[in-house]
Structure 1
Amino acid sequence: MVQEIDENDSQAKITRAKKICEGFQSQSLQTRKQTYIDFQQFIKPENIELSDQELRVIFSETHIYFLHGLRDKSEAIREQAIKFVTYLIDERLPLHDFYLTYIFPIIVERIGTVELIEDSEEIRLQMLQLLNSIIIKYTNTEQLKPFLNDSVIIIAECVKDKYPLIKELSCQSVVLLSKALPREFHLQAETLLDPVLTCFSHRQYKVRVEAIKAVGEIVMHSSYKGVDKAMVPMAEKLFDQIPAVRQAVAQQAARWLLNHRDRYSYFHKMLPLLLTGLNDEVKTTRDEANQLWESVGLKYQTENEKDLKDKMDYLSDPPKNYPTHLKRPNLGCRVLVQRNISKLATALSNELMSWQDDVKVRCSQLLCTFALHAEADLTFNLQSLLPAMYSAAKDDNKVVVQNIVQAGQIIGLFVSYKTWSKIVLPVLEDGPHAGHLTVVSALIEGTPKGNISNEALEAISKLLAEDYICCSRKSKFQIELLSCVRSLSKKFDSNPESTISYNLFKIVTTLISLRSCDNSDIITEKLYEELAHSLGFTGKADLMISSANKLFNHLNNNPKLWTPISENACIFLTLMSEIDLALGVNLDIIGVILSEVLDNQTDAELRLKVFHSLTIVFEKYGGVLVNDEHFVGFLEKLITDIFVPSLVWHPGSTAEAIRTMSATCLRYALMLNERIELFSSTKVLEPLLQKLLLLLLSLMEDASCTSRKVAIECVTLIKNISVRNNVWCLDDFIRIYPAMLQRLDDPIEKVRLAALKSLSKIFTDVPSNFLEVTYKTHRELIVDTLMTHFDDDDELVQNLVLETLKVLAKINTSEMLRKIEIYRPLLTNQEGLNQIESFTQSIVCDS
């Protein structure tokens, strides 16, 4: 009897359910929608108690009605139908593939076909959510297996949907499906790879992140084809602007390295994806990547414990000279990279030469990481890596160059000099570019001081000091060559017999001489002091004394053929300007070069530059060298062989400038003669002075006012030398003073003043026979000329004339007193006349 009641009750429930479903056939939208609400209320457990069997019967009797709503023309009805079915699956129906048999075909029909059936984005999203609900509920059940193919078809189409939320949810569905059917998913995984990869380029980063996670799952269940297909798109996401995307790549790569069943076959492809994260711009990403990488290394170490036992027992301490600012990776990480570096090196070399800037940045960072992990095992891959490093080191992006330098330093630390020099030095011999020098400098910098001998440093420095290498005017090349010099000098152990100091001195001098405009603030004369300090010299002067002579001799190669832009000419001029106290020990070779360079047949512009450098030398060092016994011969040779021929008049502005500079140098030399005795032989001195006087008197008429002024000063100095050597004669005086007086009318004030200053010196110690009556006319001419200028508006001129007249008053007082009386009514400078008259009368009284 009880059983009949239960059956009657069940039938009544089924009848009631069917009665409610009649509303689904109504033409009214509102009625159909309300029917779903009513039906849901009916089956709620708080409203009615239904057994699994009763629910199965109700589903069998009514599904044709409520599932039809998923195809309804009204979007509102379809939405309500999805809500109802979702509730039915999630909350009420027990696990059974019977229900899914009716639901999946409709979902496939609506959102799983190439032709778009469901035109509402919101409905498509809700249907996909329904699918996810089914997958979650049926996870790890036999009932879901028959619908794996349908699920894959639906996800494959939805992941290509234009609606971002659908794309994002589709990628999540991939993950859900892989976890729901882990054993079966590998059969269909690769089918989803291509559709999911289309999301990698989506503008919304959340879609890209979910797509990366989906690919992570797919690869975990794929064969080698799927792995190969996924690697390049995943690598491209390492350049994504959004940190979360790059972080997702690192996470998935770590997961593969830890758990992929064939990971040992794919380590070389997966490693870059995680190792790139170690250098990410965002600290949180770097930190997480480091933690993941350490976990990978530890697991690899555990799995290969037998193979690594010796290293684990005996190589626990870091190598000597290991950088203190770097943390040494664990053994598993190092060995994992070392065993795959040969496969990684070729790909890395190719990417380092990419035209894409961001690719080069990431690859250069990855190179540093590989070098740090590979340590000495990188030796066998230098042949392929170094050319790529040379190329990348020339890049305009400073970050790339900095990474290459860091990688080079790490390689230098672990790879011996004997090894890398065999590869690098032949390249330098063939003619390096800036990239070569960048890498060489980094290798030297990274090599521990005790691991590179002075002989090795000499070999490198000698090669770099070759003219065809160091005589470059390229801006970047010069900077990198300077970097090599600094690296070499740091590793050098002081040794007086070593030639490295000369080699580096030559390079530095060449850099200073040929520096480009871009490097004018970097490559300066201060480099001499820096180099001297690095090599153990007390200062620049000691460095010059040690090395300048050898460089001068190297330069002495056909100086007559030099032009202003010749490398040797530029280096010579630099040495002359910076020679310091080393000038004295190099006078012989400098004299030989000067006699060649300053020959009248050589380039005029270069001669001008050399004369200018000589004036600087005399001004800076002349006073210091007066006690040098070689300096006298040096000056005599300059005067006779160079200065005198250069004073001869030639047409042209350049020739005019040469005369001026030559006369200036001569003036310095003659001034030094007051402290040292030049041309001690009268037979040599007298004809030389006569020749000089003729040239200087001619120069006093030169178009250049500077030439005229310097010529006046030189003539005055010659007069003093002649007096001291008793070769001062009346003929010379008679030739000189008219030219001097003529300069009092010079249009240039500095020339006039120079003439006035010199006249008082010229008229001092005049030859005695000039006082004879025969030369009265000369004496009167002199006084008359000076009196004419005694009324000059310039007080300085008046004072200089006064001083000269006082000198003349000592020659003949009576004539001076007579001239004063003659000019008193003619001149306005009565005070000056009174002063000279008073001075002259005092001479008379004293006598």
Structure 2
Amino acid sequence: MAAMAAGDEHAASEVLRGLARHLNCLNEDNKATRKRALELIKKETVEKGHSSIVLQELFSALLKPLLKCLSDPMERCRETAIAMITEFIRVVPKPEESLPYLMPCLAQRLGEKELLEPAEELRLSAVEMLTLTVEVCGKHLAPYLTDVINILQRTIVDPFPDARRESCKCATNFAKCVPEHFHMQAESLVKPLMQTISHQHARVRVSAIEATGAVIQHGTGKNVDDVLSHLAQRLFDDSPQVRRAVATVVGDWLLHMRDRYSYFHKLIPLMLSGIDDEIPEIRLLSADLWRQVGAQWEKENEDDLKDKMDFLLAPPPFYPPGVERPGLGCRELVVRNLGRLVPAISHDITDWLVPTRVRTSQLLSVLLLHAEDHSTQHLQPLLATLYTACMDAERDVVLNCLAAAKLLGTFVPPVVFLKLLLDRVTSPYSSSHPWAPLMVLAAVLGGCSPTLLQPHLEKIADTLSQPDVCQQYQEVVYLDQLLTCVDVLLRRCESDHGSVSLQLLQVLVTVQSFSTEPRLSEKAVESVQLLGQVQGLDSAVELYRRHMAQLLEWLSGSVNTWSSYSPQRLQLHVIVMQSGPVIGEFVTPLMPLLFSCLQPDRDPEMRMSIFTMLAKLFHDESEKFLSVVLLPNLVWRAGRIAAAVRTAALSCLLALLHGGAATPGQLLCLEEKLSPPVLSALEEDSQMARLLACRSLTVILRLIGTGLHPEALNKIYPALLKRLDDSSNEVRGVALQALGLWLSSLTGGYDPELCAAHLQLVFQQLLLHLDDPDVSVQDDVLEVLKKGSSVHPALLRREAEAVRDHQRSPLLCDQLLQHIGALTAETTSDVKSSLH
């Protein structure tokens, strides 16, 4: 060995003698000479293939001249010198012997405020040399801590991106090599790293994140807060590699940082955010690291968790299907830090940056999935956060928060969340967004088990149907959320709606009455149908039949205060128009509503809207309304209430006929059903009913008299003749008018000779009233008889001549006879003219 060492020493001496001239040339002014000298030295040393011992000797001898060349004015010289030193460090057995000279020189070149090395490629090479030195010298660099830190402080923010990357790599290695010394000055690197962590090059950002991880890991732990916000911003980085680096660093801290327990509440959000990353690889990495963190914590706290490990292995009932339950350690970590995490979530979910709000809303769901029923303790601030988030303009934020609200419904007992939610629904804290509590309520209900929800259905339905809730706001978005709440109840508890059917129908009626969007109205109609279906009813009409009395009573309580702005007016419109023929079965409670609304002293706009509603009802469903609604209510029944109903129905019939809602064709089809109750009504005790019946018959004759069959016509006149003796002159006048129309209806299809007996009775009764004590009646009867004279002139002449001498004054009879004579003469003349 000694001989070998002596031989190596001799070989080194020989090489150095051969290099003496070249070393002298390094001091020449001519840069070409210096350059050639360096290249020759390189050729005879590191490129020659000497043994490591010889190279060690050569390095010791050449180090100072080479270090001097690092400040050579010629760039090529500096480059060659750096390359030679780097190669020596790589191959010599004891590179640490160079440190007393190398480190001060590098600190001077790279660690000063002003850059002494102008060439960026050479700065990169110098930093690479430092990185190599850290790798091969390791703990021997401890005495040079300050020099290395000073260098890295400058080169981490070097203008050249590759130099920054290499510096970050060097910082990472240096922190690991001398951890027992590094922590004393680690803080000095935090500021330059945070300047580099947002560099425009993704690879530089990755290196900065990795270096930050090592610096904090091997530092004092005091600078975690200084870097967390910067790392959090990198969670939104466009580069997946950057986000992956964040997940790796945070996971490493959670697993290995000495004081990690103090920072769990700050690091957990960063770790869990990666679980929702859009890149599968990052999601898997984050989930795996998080499982490791939970398992390690579980092992470290095994004694505290013993009971829970034995008894809480099974997931809670109604756990979200298809979701993997986090491990016990992971859940406990979140539960024990939730009190600190919730305020941070509440703060960040209102951040001005959209990506921050989106990522925070995603994180909220992950936290609640871990917290399970422990979220109950933080329910109030969580709900307040959700109310705020639901008002966000960014759709993803809203959707994520609704998913979180659904988890609250899964894990929190209904008796707890309903107390807070229903109070907020009845008194929204935001006048500009009163629908936010409804949106959260719908989502929470959507996550709750039907079994647990069922006992609270009545309370929920009562709240939703309160006027302050369902009638207070008319914005589309509010009504949409109100409708969503009802739909959730219908779909979550399909078979339990008997006790709340009325309240839910009231809400659905209100939504339809306020809605200005066809989409929302159609959705509400579908919900009405669904409400009937879940109760086993065949149709929405059956649902209205079940609740019509209660609905009308609901409206009647305030009818005296209605105006054109009252929501109840709109609700009545929906009920009347949607219930179809059912409304006819409830004329008794409906009519007082209509009478009250239609009094002449009530709001004109309201009255007009009610009339419009009735007209629309009659127009759209006139035939059905006549046959199914009105006619059954015209059938005689004993009692004063029944009589009042018939009067109201007659009034409605007259309005329908006058309004033209029923066409002549429809009336002809219904005549056989319509005439009997109307004729029967001519015998009513009520004068108003008799008058309405007479007027209705008048309109019917005017519309379809000429189209009636003779048998139908002959059934009408007897009842009208009786009314000529009515106690009311107004009824008598209308009856006479109707008789005049009856006579005008006797067209070609009516055979006067065949029906002479009927005509004789009509003429006799009219002639009797031609001698009425009331002069105005006499005049009216005369006009009617003149109209009827064309039907059967001969018969009327005979009857008039028979009673002329028995009347108190024959004057009117004479006028009638003269009219008949003139009519006959005119007819004869027309016949002769036609023959000629």
| TM-score interval, smaller chain | 0.7 to 0.9
Note if 1:607 corresponds to 2:610.
yes
Query: How does 1:829-844 map onto structure 2 within 5 Å?
Result: none
User: Measured at CA, do residues 202 and 180 of structure 1 come closer, stay the same or move farther in structure 2, by a change above 3 Å?
Assistant: same
Report the counterpart of residue 816 of structure 2 in structure 1: none
* 2-structure distance, mates of 1:780, 1:220: 121
Q: Is structure 2 residue 39 aligned with structure 1 residue 40? A: no
Task: Give the AA of the match of 2:449.
Answer: P
Alpha-carbon distance between aligned partners in 1 of 2:98 and 2:633, rounded to the nearest angstrom = 117
For residues 598 and 500 of structure 1, the distance between their equivalents in structure 2, rounded to whole angstroms, comes to 32
SS in 1 for 2:601: coil
Task: Report the identity percentage.
Answer: 26
Cα contact 1:199–1:207 (8 A) shared by 2: yes
Distance change >3 Å, CA 280–CA 668, structure 1 → 2: farther
Q: Distance in 2 between matches of 1:312 and 1:146?
A: 50
- CA deviation after TM superposition for structure 1 residue 692, in Å: 8.1
- One-letter identity of the residue aligned with 2:217: M
SS at match of 1:297: helix
Whether 1:150 and 2:147 are equivalent positions in the alignment is yes
Q: Which residue of 1 aligns with 2:501?
A: 501
**Root-mean-square deviation (CA), in Å?**
4.1
Separation in structure 2 between the aligned mates of residue 197 and residue 553 of structure 1, nearest angstrom: 71
Which residue number corresponds to residue 196 of structure 1? 193
Segments of 5+ residues of structure 2 without an aligned counterpart are 637-641, 725-732, 768-781, 793-822
Look up the match of 1:703.
none
Q: Contact (CA 8 Å) 2:682, 2:693: kept in 1 or not?
A: no
Matches of 1:327 and 1:80, distance apart in 2: 59
Match of 2:628 among 624, 629, 654: 624
Q: Distance in 2 between matches of 1:219 and 1:711?
A: 101
1:737–1:759 CA contact under 8 A, matched in 2: no
The Cα offsets for residues 242-295 of structure 1, whole Å up to 9 and x where unpaired, read as 222222211111111111111111111100001011111222211221111111
Q: Is the 8 A contact 1:18 1:62 kept in 2?
A: no
Query: How far 1:587 moved relative to its partner?
Result: 2.1
| Residue in 1 that maps onto 2:779 | none
Alignment check: 8 A CA contact 1:682 1:725 kept: no
Give the 3 Å change call, closer, same or farther, for CA 722–48 of structure 1 in structure 2.
Answer: same
Q: 1:411 to 1:822 in 2, by over 3 A?
A: farther
| Length, aligned pairs only | 754
Task: Please show how residues 211-610 of structure 1 align to structure 2 within 5 Å.
Answer: 211-431=208-428, 433-454=434-455, 456-471=456-471, 472-492=473-493, 494=495, 499-517=499-517, 519-520=519-520, 523-559=523-559, 561-602=561-602, 603-604=604-605, 605-610=608-613
Q: CA deviation at 1:619?
A: 4.0
Q: Distance in 2 between matches of 1:585 and 1:197?
A: 79
User: Contact conserved, 1:42 with 1:48, CA < 8 A, in 2?
Assistant: no
| Residues 785-816 of structure 1 deviation map (CA, whole Å, 9 limit, x = unaligned) | xxxxxxxxxxxxxxxxxxxxxxxxxxx99998
Partners of 2:653 and 2:696 within 8 A in 1: no
Greater CA deviation, 437-446 or 362-371?
A: 437-446
In structure 2, the CA distance between the partners of 1:630 and 1:102, relative to structure 1 (3 Å rule), is farther
Q: Contact 1:411/1:443 (CA < 8 Å) preserved in 2? A: yes
Give the direction of change, closer, same or farther, for the CA distance of 1:571–1:70 in structure 2 (3 Å limit): same
1:133-212 equivalent positions in 2, closer than 5 A: 133-139=132-138, 141=139, 143-212=140-209
Of residues 43-52 and 149-158 in structure 1, the stretch that sits farther from structure 2 once superposed is: 43-52
Question: Structure 2 counterpart of 1:611, which letter?
Answer: L
For residues 198-254 of structure 1, the C-alpha deviation after alignment (integer angstroms, 9 at most, x for no partner) is: 123222222222211111112212334311111111112212222222222111111
Q: Separation in 1 of the partners of 2:655 and 2:621?
A: 20
Q: Secondary structure at the match of 1:174?
A: helix
- 8 A contact 1:643–1:663 mirrored in 2: no
Give the AA of the match of 2:599.
Answer: D
Corresponding position: 1:713 with 2:717: no
1:612 corresponds to which letter in structure 2?
A
How has the CA–CA distance of structure 1 residues 494 and 521 changed in structure 2, closer, same or farther, with 3 Å as cutoff?
A: closer
Structure 2 vs 1, CA of residues 9 and 379 (structure 1 numbering), >3 Å: closer, same or farther?
Answer: closer
Q: Which moved more, 1:338-347 or 1:101-110?
A: 101-110
State the alpha-carbon separation in 2 of the partners of residues 458 and 823 from structure 1: 86
Secondary structure class of the residue paired with 1:223: coil
Q: Which amino acid aligns with 1:39?
A: I
Residues 5 and 417 (structure 1), Cα distance of their counterparts in 2 relative to 1, 3 Å cut: closer
Q: Is the 8 A contact 2:186 2:215 kept in 1?
A: yes
After superposition, what is the alpha-carbon deviation per residue over 1:616-635, rounded to whole angstroms, capped at 9, x for unaligned?
45444443346745877576
Q: Which residue identity is paired with 1:283? A: P
Question: 1:24 is matched with which residue?
Answer: 26
Deviations 1:699-738 (A, max 9, x none): x9xxxxxxxxx99538879997995362446987995799
Counterpart secondary structure, 1:118: coil
Which stretch has the larger CA shift, 595-604 or 379-388? 595-604
**Paired letter, 1:430:** S
SS in structure 1 of the partner of residue 348 of structure 2: helix
Quickly say closer, same or farther: Cα 1:7–1:450, change in 2 above 3 A.
Answer: closer
Which residue of structure 1 lines up, in the alignment, with residue 128 of structure 2? 129
Normalization by structure 1: what TM-score? 0.79
Change (3 A) 1:324 1:78: same
2:357/2:397 contact within 8 Å kept? yes
Matched letter for residue 477 of structure 1: Y
What's the offset of the Cα at 1:824? 9.8
SS of the aligned residue for 2:313 comes to coil
Q: Using the TM superposition, give the Cα deviation of residue 349 of structure 1 relative to its aligned residue in structure 2, in angstroms.
A: 1.7
Give distance in 2, aligned partners of 1:351 and 1:368: 14
2:355 is aligned with what amino acid? D
- CA 1:690–1:51 in 2, change beyond 3 Å: closer, same or farther? closer
How far did residue 310 of structure 1 move? Answer: 2.1
Shift of 1:4: 9.0
Letter in 2 for 1:503: Q
Partners of 2:177 and 2:383 lie apart in 1 by 49
Contact 2:684–2:690 under 8 Å retained in 1: no
Deviates more, 1:10-19 or 1:672-681: 672-681
Shift in CA distance, 580/641, structure 1 to aligned 2, threshold 3 Å: closer
Q: Quote the Cα distance in structure 2 between the aligned partners of 1:395 and 1:360.
A: 9
Which residue number corresponds to residue 803 of structure 1? none
- C-alpha separation in 2, matches of 1:241 and 1:34: 49
Aligned counterparts of 2:123 and 2:617: Cα–Cα separation in 1: 91
Q: Distance in 1 between matches of 2:311 and 2:40?
A: 77
Which letter maps to 2:195? Answer: T
Against the structure 1 CA distance between its residues 238 and 495, is the aligned structure 2 distance closer, same or farther, given a 3 Å change threshold?
Answer: closer
Of 260-269 and 170-179, more deviation after overlay is shown by 170-179
Gap runs ≥5 in structure 1 = 648-658, 701-709, 742-754, 784-811, 826-847
The one-letter amino acid paired with 1:221 is: H
| TM-fit CA distance, 1:663 | 8.5
Shift of 1:64: 3.6
| 1:577 shift after superposition | 0.8
Worse-superposed segment, 70-79 or 502-511: 70-79
Alignment correspondent of 2:647: 637
Aligned partner of residue 570 in structure 2, secondary structure: helix
Q: Residue in 2 aligned with 1:724?
A: 716
8 Å CA contact 1:23–1:31 kept in 2: the answer is yes
Q: Which one is further off, 229-238 or 166-175?
A: 166-175
Q: Which amino acid aligns with 1:118?
A: E
Structure-1 separation of matches of 2:297 and 2:303? 11
Q: Which residue does 1:116 correspond to in 2?
A: 115
Mapped partners of 1:692, 1:519: distance in 2:
44
Distance 1:388 1:329, change over 3 A: same
